[in-house]
Structure 1
Amino acid sequence: MTSTVPKNKKKLSKRITAVIVTVLLWAFAAFWFAPIFWMLSTSMKSTAAAVIETPPQWIPQNPTLENYKIIFAPSGGLSLVKATINSIIVAVSSTLATLALSIPAAYALSRLRFRGRMLIFWIYVAVLAFPSVLFLIPHFFIINGMGLSNSYLSLILPGLGGTFGVFLLRQYMLDIPKELEDAAWIDGCTKLRFLISIVIPFVKPAMLVLGLMTFLGSWNSFLWPLLILSKADKFTLPIALIRFSAGWGDPYRGIGPMMAGAFFSVAPSLIIFIVFHRYLMKGISLGSLGKE
């Protein structure tokens, strides 16, 4: 009898803790989602008065899509449709190119044995410690010197030197059993065939995580495109939105369209996060630095 009472108390305390944690997580989720919901609500308000009225209306009385029609109408040489296409081209190309370069590099650092392998790996790790903003000026002079300014390549090439993808895939490839590799060599499997037939299917979860993170990073990139682009027909969506918002003389009249543009810009990232959040969270815990 005495032994069951402490067990019941432990179960009750675990349930109370779980309830408290769940409530706190829902509160944090609501706090995080509130600005996004406000952005969507404001983008569907029909008048400037409805946008700035006090107390604010979280749900518009007469919702309209007029603000979305405004942002997609070409204005002052800017076209958000063209900017969206540019962002899609750059984000997809950057993702595919990053995967194409990171997979063989990670394979070499994880499965092949050659002199200086660990030195190269630790150099990769050391580069991760530097913020990307330090490379902006060298990238600008290199891209400008090559005559690639105002082109898709100027937005894609600098991101291909990132080391995170190689590090992530390399740590995941270390989990491939050595016995599986030995059996493949006995069966006459070449290194290329082993990479294609065994390694790539094994690291698909990590590839998905890397692809999603690369796509989101490229889609939301702002500072580098702002520095390297000067022609409106090559603007990506974040740059086009900034130029679009600067064209409104009356800031209150432009709040609705600007909120519509901001929500349209963030919607793909939000959808990707909701659909693939489990894989993105898993990517944080993939592999470990101490594996060898």
Structure 2
Amino acid sequence: MKAWWRIKKEIKTIIFSLVICVIGIIWFIPIFWMLSTSFKPTPVAVAEVKPQWIPKPFTIENYLTVWSPAGGISVANAFKNSVIVAIIATIAGLVVATPAAYALSRIEFPGQKLIFWAYVAILAFPGILFLVPNYFIIHSLNLMNTFSALILPGLGGTFGVFMLRQYMLGIPKELEEVAFIDGCSRLRFLITIAVPLIRPALVTLALMTFLGSWNSFLWPLLVLTTSDKFTLPIALVRFSAGWGDPYRGIGPTMAAAFISVAPVLLIFVLFHRYLLRGISLGGVVK
């Protein structure tokens, strides 16, 4: 009976693994097709009735076209803008969220629990509700069409503070008390002891912030007005719409799309365990 139970468990594991593999292959097919099409000469090869997964002939002309300004839209400049905005937004987000999470988790003050539950309540609202207030604030500060307009609203995000707070609650109080007895200040404790202990959570938050900034489309569309400030998602839309012949623009558009997706795929492959850990950790309220 016990042997049958083990065999049944192994069969379930094999079936589950096969299902996951099939789902992974289905998810990867559009990405592979996008990559394949980006190396096909246009407009003939991309318009073939019979799908050709391996491009013949093989060309990098589409990528050369992408990196040269087309119709006033420079994908290369937009790529640089996205990198700058995403990196600054990530660093600034960590600098703001870390001390806020420490205060909510380790310091007792009047209204502490009220502030924390207000943070939790804000998480229940969709981010699009804050679109109009943020727009009026940025407009009143004369920050339209600047990178600051893309970075500053994200610093008030509640998820990062909430996630780091949950992680900091796991730091033993005895460790904090011993540090204070030795003359350690709260700021020194945060920088030298707490931050190294919550490094996995910081890496997770950094990845999620970077990806959120990199993929953001609606907010940059509202606050950016000139092409030299465009980030990659906006430049990609404008670039794809600038071709008169749709078949002629498929190859370069696919090349631009892969350039946009490649950093996200690389980050997910290298750091997916941190992202999964952050998602699971963020669902636990202490």
Q: What TM-score range do you get, normalising by the shorter chain?
A: over 0.9
TM-score, length basis structure 1? 0.96
Q: Is the 1:172–1:287 Cα contact (8 Å) retained in structure 2? A: no
- Cα shift at 1:289: 3.9
TM-score, length basis structure 2? 0.98
Q: After superposing the two structures, state which structure 1 stretch, 205-214 or 183-192, moved more.
A: 183-192
Give the alignment partner of residue 126 of structure 2, picking from 123, 128, 131: 131
Q: Is the 2:85–2:151 Cα contact (8 Å) retained in structure 1? A: yes
Name the amino acid aligned to 2:186: K
Name the amino acid aligned to 1:145: S
What is the match of residue 193 of structure 2? 198
User: How far apart, in 1, do the equivalents of 2:139 and 2:110 lie?
Assistant: 36
Give the alignment partner of residue 182 of structure 1, picking from 173, 177, 199: 177
Q: After superposing the two structures, state which structure 1 stretch, 108-117 or 40-49, moved more.
A: 40-49
What is the match of residue 269 of structure 2? 274
What is the match of residue 232 of structure 1? 227
- What is the CA deviation profile of residues 214-268 of structure 1, one whole-angstrom value per residue up to 9, with x for unaligned ones? 0000011000011111111100011111111111000111001000000100100
Give the alignment partner of residue 22 of structure 2, picking from 16, 22, 27: 27
Name the amino acid aligned to 2:208: M
User: How far apart, in 2, do the equivalents of 1:249 and 1:157 lie?
Assistant: 37
Q: Is the 2:97–2:164 Cα contact (8 Å) retained in structure 1? A: yes
- What is the CA deviation profile of residues 115-170 of structure 1, one whole-angstrom value per residue up to 9, with x for unaligned ones? 10000000001111111111111111111111111111011111111100000000
What is the match of residue 3 of structure 1? none
Equivalent residue runs for 1:37-116 within 5 Å: 37-116=32-111
User: How far apart, in 2, do the equivalents of 1:274 and 1:257 lie?
Assistant: 25
Report the CA distance shift for 1:13/1:130 in structure 2 as closer, same or farther (over 3 A).
same
Residue 151 of structure 2 corresponds to residue 151 of structure 1: no
| % identical aligned pairs | 61
User: How far apart, in 2, do the equivalents of 1:235 and 1:287 lie?
Assistant: 32
Q: Is the 1:106–1:169 Cα contact (8 Å) retained in structure 2? A: yes
- Structure 1: unaligned runs, 5 residues or longer: 1-5
Q: Is the 1:154–1:228 Cα contact (8 Å) retained in structure 2? A: yes
Q: Is the 1:171–1:288 Cα contact (8 Å) retained in structure 2? A: no
User: How far apart, in 1, do the equivalents of 2:63 and 2:73 lie?
Assistant: 15
CA root-mean-square deviation: 1.0
Report the CA distance shift for 1:155/1:110 in structure 2 as closer, same or farther (over 3 A).
same
Residue 155 of structure 2 corresponds to residue 160 of structure 1: yes
- Cα shift at 1:287: 5.9
Q: After superposing the two structures, state which structure 1 stretch, 200-209 or 73-82, moved more.
A: 73-82
User: How far apart, in 1, do the equivalents of 2:128 and 2:244 lie?
Assistant: 33
User: How far apart, in 1, do the equivalents of 2:71 and 2:37 lie?
Assistant: 24
Q: Is the 2:166–2:285 Cα contact (8 Å) retained in structure 1? A: no
User: How far apart, in 2, do the equivalents of 1:54 and 1:8 lie?
Assistant: 53
Report the CA distance shift for 1:7/1:24 in structure 2 as closer, same or farther (over 3 A).
same
User: 1:147 is paired with a residue of what secondary structure?
Assistant: coil
Name the amino acid aligned to 1:28: I
- Cα shift at 1:63: 1.6
User: How far apart, in 2, do the equivalents of 1:186 and 1:65 lie?
Assistant: 64
- Cα shift at 1:209: 0.3
- Cα shift at 1:46: 1.0
- Cα shift at 1:288: 5.5
What is the match of residue 252 of structure 1? 247
User: How far apart, in 2, do the equivalents of 1:35 and 1:289 lie?
Assistant: 34
User: How far apart, in 2, do the equivalents of 1:164 and 1:16 lie?
Assistant: 39
What is the match of residue 206 of structure 2? 211
User: How far apart, in 1, do the equivalents of 2:49 and 2:244 lie?
Assistant: 23
Report the CA distance shift for 1:203/1:223 in structure 2 as closer, same or farther (over 3 A).
same
Q: Is the 1:209–1:279 Cα contact (8 Å) retained in structure 2? A: yes
